[in-house]
Structure 1
Amino acid sequence: MNAKVTWFDSLLTAIILLICLTVILPFLYIIAVSFSPPAYSMAGSFFIWPKEWSLDAYYYLLQAQTFLTSVKNSVYITAIGTCVNLVISITLAYALSKKFVPGRKFMLLFIFFTMIFHGGMIPSYLVVRSLGLIDSYWAIILPAATGAFNIMVIRSFFQSLPESLDEAARIDGAGEFRILFSVVIPLSKPIIATFALFFMVQYWNEFFSAVIYLNDPSKWPIQPLLRQMVAISASNISTDAALDAQMAANLGPNVQNAAILLAMLPIVAVYPFLQKYFAKGAMLGSIKE
């Protein structure tokens, strides 16, 4: 027997549809503007369907050296940063999941402390500068190489694995590294894939650290350049970058929106390969079984 639809169900459905529209419509508008000629996009004479289709914005971006360089920089930072983050988070979480590790409780307390208290922007900048990392990609990668929340969740997942697996591997003569790479990691694909996606999105969307630590605009990732294309401030960038940004502004919002779409593509392309692990991995490790 079908359940009766109440007024609350109808209201909830309407609210969900409204929220979906507030997310989808701006995205459709960005797509429409990116495929529209500059004259129509500047005039704002359409909403989600262009009056005329054009690929000029994409042709320009794929020939603009500054844009291509920033994409290459973002790919490099994301790839290296994700690998570093995974290695540090997994190895540290695995060590903290073992009760026989000396000083385990102190390290857990120390890590938890960083979730509550943080030195702030100025001390972080002074540390990065003292290490000689200014104007280096490592200034973006190393300060974000791991996080207390990530370690806690991955550690909780490792603790939920049966201890009998470790014991059987030790009886066969396996060491801790062999157990980690041959037993634990193959069983941890959902949680690893989930955090890999989190780390990739984090590094790909990096903006604040890049602006602070990278003085050379040729090393900028994609996000600072997008900001520069949307809000031109040529006095803060080099001549070539200023030229590209100014040309983008002259071509109108179609180039700006095309750049936004192209910047989204890598993450959107990777997500389907990790999606089958994402729903499961997002829940695993949140509570200890």
Structure 2
Amino acid sequence: MTTLLETDKDSRRTEQPSTTPEESPLKRALRIEPRPVWEEEPTKAGLAFKGFGLVTICAIVLVPLWVVVVTSLSDTKTINDAGGLVVWPRTVTFVAYKELLGGGAVTRAALVSVGLTLVGTAFSMVISVLCAYGLSRRDSFAHSKLLMTLMATMFFGAGLIPTYLLVTGIGLSNSYWSMILPSAISVFNILVLRGFFMDTAPELIDAARIDGAGEWRILLQIVMPLSRAVIAVISLFYAVGYWSQWFNAMLYIQDSDKYPLQMILRQLVLQHQVPPGAMGAAVSSGAINSLAVQMAVMVLALIPVAVLSPFVQKHFQKGMLTGAVKG
């Protein structure tokens, strides 16, 4: 009897949860997992080549960004002495940014781009989520026909001239909606969302239907919370597309007050046109170098994407791979 009791105590003692502190995220990231038996041990030459390749790729990405930022912060004398782009700063000045954000054409264009990005992304996501959810239900109305019709638009397009005639014919010329509606929907994004929605456990949806939930409640309270990863990724795709848009503005917008930021950047870089006003007077007088203005606008255009991307990065693998493989 004593032996049985001692054995039972020992088993209970071993079954108790460990009270050791959890491993920090940094230690988990730095921990080296055991190499699978089928993988060969890396050689020193291979490791050196990989390290050199990573450093080279980082330099190719970061050096141009460094040059753009440094040039935007340089004064006219430094830019003239360097003969153009500045690699190493001598003096740091924020005159170009003060002129750009001082309430002129660039500030107005930045506000237009922010509005287009917010409204356009919300509009595109609502339409894409509704379409993807409907196509993810195999018993929905005309499921196969609608899916084939959408997929056909990925390979066959009407062309630029019919699209232009359609947009202008329905009265969208010189309207903000002309920069949203023609590119509001991406069939690829809808297919990715559809694949992720199809991965939702059917038991959850069946249980919700038994409890009396309708399709709207199933979508809003079950499917979408489980699909936060892919929704975040697709939202970033749409947001970057709207923020970087300039072609639709060039086609349909005649009023320069409605130009987005990318259109102003195109005028500065490709056409060498400085927006009228205080900035144009400053560039003409030599107080600000036109190259510094161009680089400053580039930096302003890159900031939103650079800020938002790290927050969505963790969702890329789960959101894209899972949604693309399913369905």
Asked if these proteins are the same fold (TM beyond 0.5), I'd say yes
CA pair 176-12 structure 1, distance change in 2 beyond 3 A: same
CA–CA separation in structure 2 for the residues paired with 1:217 and 1:287: 44
- Whether the 8 Å contact between 1:229 and 1:245 is mirrored in structure 2 is no
Question: SS at the partner of 2:146?
Answer: helix
CA–CA separation in structure 2 for the residues paired with 1:116 and 1:4: 44
More helix by share: 1
CA pair 43-231 structure 1, distance change in 2 beyond 3 A: farther
- Which sections of structure 1, spanning at least 5 residues, go unmatched? 235-239
Match of 1:108 among 132, 147, 166: 147
Partner in structure 2 of residue 172 of structure 1: 211
1:274 has 2:308 as partner: no
CA–CA separation in structure 1 for the residues paired with 2:326 and 2:250: 39
Alignment length (residue pairs): 284
1:212-234 per-position Cα deviation (integer Å, ceiling 9, x unaligned) = 11111100000010111223465
Question: SS at the partner of 2:113?
Answer: helix
1:38 has 2:76 as partner: yes
CA pair 90-41 structure 1, distance change in 2 beyond 3 A: same
- TM-score, structure 1 as length reference: 0.91
Listed as ranges, the matches of 1:149-164 within 5 Å are 149-164=188-203
CA pair 16-247 structure 1, distance change in 2 beyond 3 A: farther
CA pair 175-166 structure 1, distance change in 2 beyond 3 A: same
CA pair 248-206 structure 1, distance change in 2 beyond 3 A: farther
1:261 counterpart letter in structure 2: V
1:212-262 per-position Cα deviation (integer Å, ceiling 9, x unaligned) = 11111100000010111223465xxxxx93446745754221121111112
CA–CA separation in structure 1 for the residues paired with 2:181 and 2:201: 33
The alpha-carbon deviation at position 59 of structure 1 amounts to 1.2
CA pair 160-274 structure 1, distance change in 2 beyond 3 A: same
Question: SS at the partner of 1:116?
Answer: coil
Partner in structure 1 of residue 176 of structure 2: 137
Listed as ranges, the matches of 1:178-257 within 5 Å are 178-232=217-271, 234=273, 241-243=275-277, 246-247=280-281, 250=284, 251-252=288-289, 253-257=291-295
2:107 counterpart letter in structure 1: L
CA–CA separation in structure 1 for the residues paired with 2:50 and 2:125: 39
- Whether the 8 Å contact between 2:79 and 2:86 is mirrored in structure 1 is no
CA–CA separation in structure 2 for the residues paired with 1:282 and 1:94: 17
1:73-115 per-position Cα deviation (integer Å, ceiling 9, x unaligned) = 0011100100011000000000001011121100011001001
CA–CA separation in structure 1 for the residues paired with 2:57 and 2:183: 32
CA–CA separation in structure 2 for the residues paired with 1:19 and 1:83: 35
1:91 counterpart letter in structure 2: L
CA pair 110-245 structure 1, distance change in 2 beyond 3 A: farther
CA–CA separation in structure 2 for the residues paired with 1:283 and 1:39: 50
1:16 counterpart letter in structure 2: L
> Sequence identity, in percent?
36
Q: CA RMSD in A?
A: 2.2
- Whether the 8 Å contact between 2:193 and 2:323 is mirrored in structure 1 is yes
Match of 1:13 among 51, 55, 58: 51
For the pair shown, the structure with the greater C-alpha radius of gyration is 2
The alpha-carbon deviation at position 49 of structure 1 amounts to 2.5
Moved more, 8-17 or 65-74: 8-17
1:254 counterpart letter in structure 2: A
1:92 has 2:131 as partner: yes
- Whether the 8 Å contact between 1:232 and 1:246 is mirrored in structure 2 is no
1:49 has 2:92 as partner: no
Listed as ranges, the matches of 1:55-94 within 5 Å are 55-94=94-133
CA–CA separation in structure 2 for the residues paired with 1:38 and 1:20: 29
2:53 counterpart letter in structure 1: I
